[in-house]
Each structure stands twice: as structure tokens, then as C-alpha cells.
Amino acid sequence: MKFQATHYHLDLLKDSERVSAFFEAINQYSSDTDLAYDLGCGSGLLSYFLSDKFDEIISLEMDSKSYHCAFRNLEKFNNIKVINEDASTYDFEGKADLIVCEMLDTALIDEEEVSVLNHARKFLKEDGQIIPKAIVNIAELVNMQRHYVHWDENAKYEILSKPVSYSKIILKDKINPNFEKDIEFKSDKDHTANGIKITTVTILNDDVVCGPTPMFNPPLLIPIDETEVKCNDLINVKLKYIMGQGIETIETKIL
């Protein structure tokens, strides 16, 4: 089967680590196989993975170009309905056994995972599941070259502390998008600290865990006020952002 896709979705399809993690998590799903939602279906690949497990799959895609690709890719499947709508406001007809929502990005800051799931969760059966199940965010103190928020591709930086796991978000729970946390780092060298690195690990289900991949949650580098640190110093940083409102909402303060 040859999938039609936009350039962006083609890059997502070529990211075999990301694709195989979702394939495995969907393949392992076993329960009542009545109704599934694929929110932000893109080219429709995850709906295709769902197609032989569920009686009915409702696949929503907001972007019209991507919707047309998914529609054409999936038109031969009688059990999949592709709809060009915004999943954060869509009035679903029934309650699903499974919601798959891959609108993930580092710490859920830049995409709509949180607002979409805070709405769509009302349309999940009480014992229903969400893929992914959770994310874990990890921070490290760094010395970085660029003094603005950026993803770590081709970026130069040096890690100055052990990783600190600073939050776990269970996607079945209602999520407050306003995130704020004081994080304590212990420096393991003498250097100038001027940033933190955030890495997100995605727990798709109890068995499948996926770290950053080329197209999935690349680590984020965030500036902090420059401070000289000695080995074993403790540095406390307040980190704030609004999930789903973009990297412009990120604020840091050394305490």
C-alpha cells in the first residue's frame, strides 16, 4: 500500500523508531474492539494500524491537505471514517475504547495534545485507554552556545548535572496546561551554567517506551540567567510554560 503524504508527514513515516513504537503499542492492544479515535491522523498511518482491530475508527485531521491524503489512503477501509475537523472541539457521537493521539512534542509545550485530550477524554469509556499512556520529562543543567529556546538538532552544549525527572503526565488524567515547577540541579563540574535541556520520554503502554527520535520530541534547550557553578553546587531553577501554547510561553528564573 503506497501512502500519500505531505512532506512533513512523509518525514514522520520515515522515522522507523517512532512508527514501530506506535505499531507495537497498537498491536499489543487487546480488549473490547468496538470503537477507536485517531486524533490528528495526519497521513492516516496509525488508523491503518488500528484497522484490523476495531469495528469502527473515527480519524480526525484539522489540516485540509493532510486530511485529503488520509481520506485517499484510507478510502478502501469500510471501518474507517476520516473527518476534516478540529479534535479539540469535535462533538463525538459515541464513547471510544481507545484514543490514539500523536500530537506529541517535547514536554507537550508546542502541539495540541493537552487541549485535544482534555476535550476528547469525555468521549472515552471509563475503562478505555489512551495511546500514549504517559510522558516523563527530564531536565539537565547545561552550558549552551545559543541564548534562545531551540531544539537540540545541530546545537552545541555541555551537560553540567545529572538528569532530574521533574514531571510525569498521565494522559488519561485531566491536565492543567499551566505548568510550573522548581527544579534542583546538582552541578558535577565547575563551569558557566546558562541553560537547561529538557528531554521527554513517551510511555505508549506498559511495555512500549520511546525516547526522542529524529521526528519525535527532540530535546529542547532553554536559556537561564548565566551563573558560575562549582562542582556539587545546588542550583534551583523555576521552570514555567503553558502546554499547547508554544515555546514562547517558556519562562525560567534562578531561585
Ligand X SMILES: C[S@@+](CC[C@H](N)C(=O)[O-])C[C@H]1O[C@@H](n2cnc3c(N)ncnc32)[C@H](O)[C@@H]1O
Binds ligand X (CB under 6 A): choice among 34, 86, 158, 188: 86
Per-residue binder mask for ligand X (CB under 6 A), 7-46, x = binder? --x--x---------------------------xxxx-xx
Applying CB under 6 A, does 66 fall inside the site for ligand X? Answer: yes
Q: Please give the backbone phi and psi of residue 166, each rounded to the nearest 5 degrees, phi first.
A: -105, -10
Q: Which residues contact 242 (CB under 8 A, 6 or more apart)?
A: 109, 177, 178, 179, 249
Stretch that binds ligand X, among 57-65, 178-186, 225-233, 244-252 (CB under 6 A): 57-65
Tell me which residue of 4, 66, 68, 57 sits closest to 34, measured CA to CA: 57
Q: Which residues contact 116 (CB under 8 A, 6 or more apart)?
A: 39, 40, 87, 88, 101, 103
Inter-CA distances, 112 with 40, 46, 194, 223, Å = 9, 18, 29, 24
Residue type, 187: S
Binds ligand X (CB under 6 A): choice among 21, 57, 60, 235: 60
Applying CB under 6 A, does 113 fall inside the site for ligand X? Answer: no
Applying CB under 6 A, does 102 fall inside the site for ligand X? Answer: yes
Closest separation in Å from C-beta 46 to ligand X = 5
Applying CB under 6 A, does 61 fall inside the site for ligand X? Answer: yes
Binds ligand X (CB under 6 A): choice among 50, 114, 116, 124: 116
Which residue's CB is nearer to ligand X, number 12 or number 237? 12
Which residue's CB is nearer to ligand X, number 134 or number 164? 134
Binds ligand X (CB under 6 A): choice among 57, 62, 169, 220: 62
How far is residue 77's CA from residue 171's CA, in Å, rounded to a whole number?
Answer: 29
Rg (CA), the chain: 20
Distance of alpha carbon 208 from its chain centroid, rounded?
15
- Which chain residues interact with ligand X by CB under 6 A? 9, 12, 40-43, 45-46, 60-63, 66, 86-88, 102-103, 112, 116
